[in-house]
Amino acid sequence: MNEKIDKEIALDEEVVESASLKGRPEDRRRLSWYYAPSFLLLWLALFFAIVIPLFNRLPDRITIAEEPARLGEFVAERAERLLYEFERIGPKVVGSQANEVETVAFLLNEVEKIRKELRNDLYELDIDVQLSTGGFLFSSMLNMYQGVQNVIVKLSAKNSQRESYLLINSHFDSKPGSPGSGDDGTMVVVMLEVLRQMATSDTPFENGVIFLFNGAEENALQGAHGFITQHKWATNCKALINLEVGGSGGRDLLFQSGPNNPWLMKYYRQHAKHPFATTLAEETWQAGIIPSDTDFRIFRDYGNVPGLDIAQANNGYVYHTAFDTIKVIPGGSIQNTGNNILALARAFANASELYENEESDNSHAVFFDFLGLFFVYYTENTGIILNCCIGVISLVLVGCSLWRMSRQSEVTLGQISLWFLIVVGLHVVGALLCFCLPLLMAVIFDAGDRSLTYFTSNWLVFGLYVFPAVIGLVLPLTLYYTLMPNDKLSHAYLIQMSFHAHFVVLALLILILTAVGIRSQYLCLISLIFYGGALLLNLLSTLHDRGYYWSVIVILLQVFPFCYFCYLFYMVLVVFFPITGRNGIGSNPDLIIALLCAFCTYFALGFVAQFINVFRWPKLILLGLGVVTFIFCMIAVSEVGFPYRAETNVMRVTFMQTNRIFYGYDGTVSHSDSGYYFVYQDRRGLNPLEDSGVNLTGLVSMEPDCDKYVMCGAPCFYFCGGVRNAGWLPREVVSPGEITLELLEKTILVADNKVRFNFELTGPPHMNVFIQPVGIANVTNWSFERKLLDDQDTFKPPYFIFFSYGKDDSPLKFYMN
């Protein structure tokens, strides 16, 4: 049998060798170039046939009529009815009647309804409305609050002596102008239904559960801080499920865990009904790439409470807008979240880790779901061992393949190794082009004032960024194979080398990322496992040396990592597409999308794209991709590429009616004006409004005022990073409220060469105070947080104090020396 196989191999070598000597008629054995479009479209079809349906899959909504047959399950229809009532209240801004009175009354009323259904023989239910006052450092500002309300419900088992609680948190306040049905009304009603199911069910639990409906998350996380630092039940909270919404609808994504408590992920894997999570999202969030924050950070930093941070992130276009209403929230989405949270709440409420005070093992978890079908989790330490083993095995497999090539082709191993190093070098060049070409496209479109063309027409990224990435990835090796043909080694072996090159780069990359401590290297691990498995099967069989037959196993096994990487990066793009519309005017958002598409291409098509060189005339195929890219560019600069659509993909511009009064040191008015203060939310600024009929005559930049006034003389609202890029439109406007800063007392301390000022501030529920010493003066003491003065390397003038209040509107009194 072995003798027969050897003869067949020798016959194949003779065919290849004779072909090489006759002007490479070996190419006749390669597929014609016109099969390439079908091959590439096959992978596109897999994306739309597998990835998109699984990504958007939601469970059927359970109705109230079905409840008797499905006792103990989350009922989405009841939660939806509550959401309608929640939405009717309108925008719920801290300090408003809607937030402080109507929404609190709504919550208390619903909890009282649940109390009437409570299994009094099993459970106890306590309600508390907290009124908290405090402050903390938040980024570069001092975040102060007064009279902020939280509605807190504690559900505990009567027969349990444990005083450890699970904390479940969401917020009921919203941004101005938004009813907040998605952010965070969806999670509020999910919590109410979870509370009802747990309070009326006979399913036992050992640890108490605290449902925190906090009333000031949109005000820089004030409600969570008030609870965790001041409430009587806070010290007993040992684990957290934080519920947020960064869009409206879709599946709930677990994007943060821990810290340093991998047991949380073990419970998530065992009990989450619809797993949707990834370490990549966690590391992206914690790196500050997404311009946002959640209450999770407050509970972690101020209460040392580990937990899970979960959010719906689909359709971020309506996030913090008037269009965040129930009509854009699918019932299946509420059911999906409800199923997960109810199952997790019951599991954590019985977790021994809550009352055993298990010590942190100082390690994170690596976790991800595979197309929503199952969940993978392992500790960071396990990942280090796994990564090192797979990385080394991958390099060994490549060495075995090269040795096998030398044995079959009668070319020395040293010569083959030299050729392979050239291929690896060219692949690295291709990898750089894979990233550089999409980034170049982003720069060109931005320079031509055509950024955000994909904002509504997301499919444009295929032509604008994905196809250029594929071209860049394959081009160096294509030129090498066509311009410098190798007559001593079969073309099939050369193509295998290009696959091995990608394999080796990933193996080295996983070792480097593991050493650095980046857990998202599991992406490399997935690629290595599936291609390494294909290579091992080909080596163990004769397919490795039988022309292109090895490619069959490679293609079959590449379906799995391709689908996963497309699924993963599609999720990231779904999150980032809307973010680019509120990322500010100061940076090019297309660079972010181009970079994400390049990463997706490199991981999803890193092996698949190399098959382009299996076809005849690969340069023609790449030229065809270039032509398609050009066509997409033409579409992008047409009306199709106009970013905005009414109600669904809106243009965001923040503006405030502003009265400015500037006083001199002696108290006289030096300048007074009024107008609209604009903060540009995206790269295009107000350019799209030029032909809209909006009168922008006189619009000027705020930057010239930055050299004359504190904070450019701008009334920025608690985040002030884009002041220099803001705009000022002089107009006669009527301010909706009045602010009074009264100097109560001025005391000159001659001996200390100091002056002490006592002030009283009154005004609307949201106010900023900026303090900028003039000349050689400096602030030596005040009634605010001392760290702002003591840590001069971090906090520099002008000092920024944000102050807001809920029910307590008493004046803010402060002093400074």
The encoded tokens of residue 296 equal 């999770």
Q: What letter would DSSP give residue 372?
A: T
Rounded-to-integer distance, Cα 197 and Cα 619, Å: 63
214 close to 172: Cβ distance less than 8 angstroms = yes
Assign 286 a pLDDT band (cuts: 50, 70, 90). confident
* Distances 725 to 56, 473, 610, 678 between C-alpha atoms, Å: 38, 37, 45, 9
Mean pLDDT within 164-193: 96
Of all residues in the chain, the percent with pLDDT exceeding 70 is 95
The pLDDT, as a whole number, for residue 719 is 65
Instruction: Spell out the alpha helix ranges (H) of 448-521.
Output: 460-461, 467-483, 491-516
pLDDT over threshold 70, residue 17: no
Rounded-to-integer distance, Cα 758 and Cα 769, Å: 14
pLDDT over threshold 80, residue 773: yes
The pLDDT, as a whole number, for residue 542 is 86
9 close to 547: Cβ distance less than 8 angstroms = no
| pLDDT higher at 227 or 15 | 227
Residue 389 backbone zone (phi > 0: left; psi -120 to 50: alpha; other: beta): alpha
Rounded-to-integer distance, Cα 503 and Cα 535, Å: 10
690 close to 722: Cβ distance less than 8 angstroms = no
The pLDDT, as a whole number, for residue 13 is 40
Mean pLDDT within 622-640: 96
pLDDT over threshold 90, residue 441: yes
210 close to 152: Cβ distance less than 8 angstroms = yes
| pLDDT higher at 426 or 671 | 426
The pLDDT, as a whole number, for residue 487 is 82
The pLDDT, as a whole number, for residue 106 is 98
Assign 360 a pLDDT band (cuts: 50, 70, 90). low
DSSP 506-563: HHHHHHHHHHHT-GGGHHHHHHHHHHHHHHHHHHHSSGGGSTTTHHHHHHHHHHHHHH
> CA-CA-CA-CA torsion for 289, 295, 296, 300, nearest 10 degrees?
110
Assign 2 a pLDDT band (cuts: 50, 70, 90). very low
Q: Name which of 725, 732, 816, 737 is nearest 769 in CA terms.
A: 816
The pLDDT, as a whole number, for residue 691 is 80
Domains of the chain: 2-54+381-641 (no CATH), 74-127+142-354 (3.40.630.10), 651-736 (no CATH), 737-817 (no CATH)
Rounded-to-integer distance, Cα 403 and Cα 407, Å: 6
pLDDT in tens, 305-335: 999 999 999 999 999 999 999 999 999 999 9
pLDDT over threshold 70, residue 149: yes
Rounded-to-integer distance, Cα 606 and Cα 588, Å: 27
pLDDT over threshold 60, residue 24: no
714 close to 723: Cβ distance less than 8 angstroms = yes
Rounded-to-integer distance, Cα 590 and Cα 580, Å: 8
Rounded-to-integer distance, Cα 477 and Cα 470, Å: 12
User: Kindly report the CA angle at 322 between 317 and 328, in degrees rounded to 5?
Assistant: 60
The pLDDT, as a whole number, for residue 578 is 95
The model carries a pTM of 0.92
pLDDT over threshold 60, residue 799: yes
pLDDT over threshold 70, residue 19: no
Mean pLDDT, the chain, rounded, equals 91
The encoded tokens of residue 569 equal 């990066």
Q: How far apart are the first and last CA of the chain?
A: 96
517 close to 412: Cβ distance less than 8 angstroms = no
| pLDDT higher at 598 or 12 | 598
Rounded-to-integer distance, Cα 359 and Cα 361, Å: 6
Assign 258 a pLDDT band (cuts: 50, 70, 90). confident
The pLDDT, as a whole number, for residue 714 is 82
Name residue, tokens 């790196």. 287
pLDDT over threshold 90, residue 368: yes
Instruction: Spell out the alpha helix ranges (H) of 118-155.
Output: none
Q: What letter would DSSP give residue 806?
A: S
Assign 488 a pLDDT band (cuts: 50, 70, 90). confident
248, HSE (Cβ side, Cα atoms, 13 Å)? 25
Q: Name which of 587, 625, 598, 590 is nearest 450 in CA terms.
A: 590
The encoded tokens of residue 426 equal 């060219």
Least confident window among 8-17, 55-64, 637-646, 752-761: 8-17
pLDDT in tens, 491-509: 999 999 999 999 999 999 9
Indicate the pairing of strand 208-214 with strand 252-258: unpaired
pLDDT in tens, 565-584: 999 999 999 999 999 999 88
Rounded-to-integer distance, Cα 286 and Cα 450, Å: 31
The pLDDT, as a whole number, for residue 750 is 77
The pLDDT, as a whole number, for residue 359 is 55
Helix (H) or strand (E) holding 84: helix 76-88
DSSP 567-620: HHHHHHHHHHHHHGGGS-SSS-THHHHHHHHHHHHHHHSTTGGGGGGGSS-HHH
501 close to 473: Cβ distance less than 8 angstroms = no
Q: Name which of 367, 173, 343, 324 is nearest 274 in CA terms.
A: 343
Q: What letter would DSSP give residue 118?
A: -
The pLDDT, as a whole number, for residue 11 is 38
Assign 472 a pLDDT band (cuts: 50, 70, 90). very high
The pLDDT, as a whole number, for residue 357 is 61
The pLDDT, as a whole number, for residue 197 is 97
Indicate the pairing of strand 307-312 with strand 237-245: parallel
Rounded-to-integer distance, Cα 196 and Cα 578, Å: 34
pLDDT over threshold 60, residue 638: yes
pLDDT over threshold 70, residue 370: yes
The pLDDT, as a whole number, for residue 9 is 39
Q: Helix or strand or coil: residue 21?
A: coil
Assign 7 a pLDDT band (cuts: 50, 70, 90). very low
pLDDT over threshold 70, residue 362: no
Assign 259 a pLDDT band (cuts: 50, 70, 90). confident
Q: Which residues, other chains included, contact 664 with Cβ-Cβ below 8 Å and sequence gap of 6+?
A: 670
Instruction: State phi, psi for 130 to the nearest 5 degrees.
Output: -90, 140
Assign 724 a pLDDT band (cuts: 50, 70, 90). confident
Q: Name which of 494, 475, 497 is nearest 486 in CA terms.
A: 494
Mean pLDDT within 418-444: 97
pLDDT in tens, 517-562: 999 999 999 999 999 999 999 999 989 999 899 999 999 999 999 9
93 close to 765: Cβ distance less than 8 angstroms = yes
Q: Which residues, other chains included, contact 227 with Cβ-Cβ below 8 Å and sequence gap of 6+?
A: 130, 132, 150, 152, 212, 214, 234
Residue 737 burial (CB count, 10 A): 10
pLDDT over threshold 60, residue 67: yes
The pLDDT, as a whole number, for residue 37 is 93
Burial of 243 (0-12, 13-18, 19+ CB in 10 A): buried
Q: What letter would DSSP give residue 351?
A: -
Name residue, tokens 């409004």. 689
pLDDT over threshold 80, residue 361: no
pLDDT over threshold 50, residue 8: no
